[in-house]
Chains A and B, each alone.
Chain A
Amino acid sequence: MKEHIDSETLSAYLDGCLETAQLDRVLNHIKVCVICAGEVNAYVKVRSVLKRTAIKNMPLDLAADLRLAAAKKFTEQPWWIQWRLPQYWVPATGMAISLLVWGWWMQKSFVSEDSIPLETVLAAHHRYLDEGNLPVTDLTADGFSARLASYEETVE
């Protein structure tokens, strides 16, 4: 035989994970190739031996000791390390704080106790519109007086 089947494919064959075309190729090959057939037999033997070997559980006292040691190590750490969050929280928290500060600053820059209500400037704008060459579109000309209605609430 010029080419043998590689070990991974033989293992996959034994696990039943080959597709039809590949499975046919392996079956045809091991019929005529003593080396590959021998390798398959060897895998089968190893598997049967492993299956017959009893599974050993960890001794209960050892498991308890290990858990105790892990818990002791955790409680001995400072609280800030015990509650430390995963690394990705660092940029996320930084971003959140930055947004909060920016929002507070924006709010502060636009609104303060002694700020001028928007109604005041809108009233002045509407009053000037009445000076136009043509009458305002609203023939009731209610723009200025409507603004004064809310302006009144803002003036002492």
Chain B
Amino acid sequence: MNGRRFIAIFLSVLILPIAVKAADPNPIDLLKNISQGLSEPYRGRVISMINDGQRSNRSEAEVFFDSPNVYRREYMSAEGSPIKVVICDGQTEWIHFIEKKLAWKGGAVKRQSKLLPIDKEWELFMRNYRVLLKKGEVVAGRDTWHVDIMPNAPGKPKRLLLVDSVEPVILRSEEINPDGSIAVESQFENIDFNSVIDDSLFHPNFPQGVTVKDHGVAPDFLTLSEIEKSIGKKLGVPKELPDGFEFESGNLFHFKGKPITHLRYTDGLNIISLFQSETPINTKNRVFGWHGYEGLNGKIGFSRAGHVYHWRFGNRHYTLVGNISLAAMRKLARSLK
């Protein structure tokens, strides 16, 4: 009897850690759950620090979430009063600049399916990134899973996520540049999954005197041949770029009647945008942190979106935007020239 009890205890000691280990979620499943979003409402306060290579910006927002694609974000000034409000009712998104009495509106995020099937995009992600999961630290009073997303190709940023251990919500997020510097740090200061949120918060109710304009940059998801048919010209761009980027979709939009083609490439996580226009793109402004010239017709700089590489070929102007290193950006630009 004593012998049996000993064996039982011995086996329990052996099996228990395996059982505990088995309770760890699969990191890809965890990320897919985040992608699908939570169906329960929550509210919380988020603080972000963004370093775009030339300056650091602090952003603070009160977030109200109802269901995927239905949300409200109130951005606060340093004094704590709202300066900007973003509202999405699932079909339309409004961005209201309170002091300027101006609201931009456009199609809601994820109101349409992308061209690249979601499974194919996850496949790309798994091909281009390694994911590690471990127990994370407590954030906003809640236990987390620590997820490291590391790129296989050099020159891409690494991401660190602290995901709520119960709900599919990221509580802390970091983006680390290839040189080890932190590009973005963002975290929930507090979060409440049990709050009752008034439905009226998810519908715009602008005060009198607010002008509402269409920003016109909400994306459509067109194939290369559809865009070529629309502009009546060959685009002459590849479907794949170096370092695992594949063409996802593109669209055509206008600025004061001037057409701009926007092509998007993805590696499953990171996005590279390629813009083409016959009108020059003016980089002489404060959102472009000057870095230098590239050859006779090119120039390169920084923005909050990462590197910006602009060049001219014949009568066409090209702008490549992406959060990758300068060397990786040059490699992509060479593959397009």
B-contacting residues of A (Cβ < 8 Å)?
A: 106, 109-112, 114-135, 137-152, 155-156
Contacts and interface: CB of A to CB of B under 8 A. Distances in A.
Residue in A110, A126, A131, A139 with the greatest tally of chain B CB atoms within 10 Å: A139
Contacts, number: 182
B260 A120 contact: yes
B282 A111 contact: yes
A32 to B, nearest CB: 76
A138 B283 contact: no
A138 B106 CA distance: 21
Contacts of A149: 84, 97
A120 B283 CA distance: 11
Contact of B269 (A123, A124, A132, A146): A132
A72 to B, nearest CB: 52
A133 B271 contact: no
A117 to B, nearest CB: 5
A107 to B, nearest CB: 8
Given A140-B48, A149-B97, A152-B102, A129 B305 contact: yes
Contact of B256 (A132, A135, A152, A156): A156
B35 A133 contact: yes
B280 A124 contact: no
A120 B273 CA distance: 13
B66 interface: no
A119 B287 contact: yes
Contact of B303 (A122, A139, A156): A122
A145 to B, nearest CB: 5
Given A142-B61, A156-B256, 14 more contacts: A110-B280, A115-B280, A118-B288, A120-B217, A122-B304, A125-B305, A126-B305, A128-B219, A133-B35, A133-B118, A139-B48, A140-B63, A145-B86, A150-B286
A112 B280 contact: yes
Contact of B219 (A114, A124, A148): A124
B92 interface: no
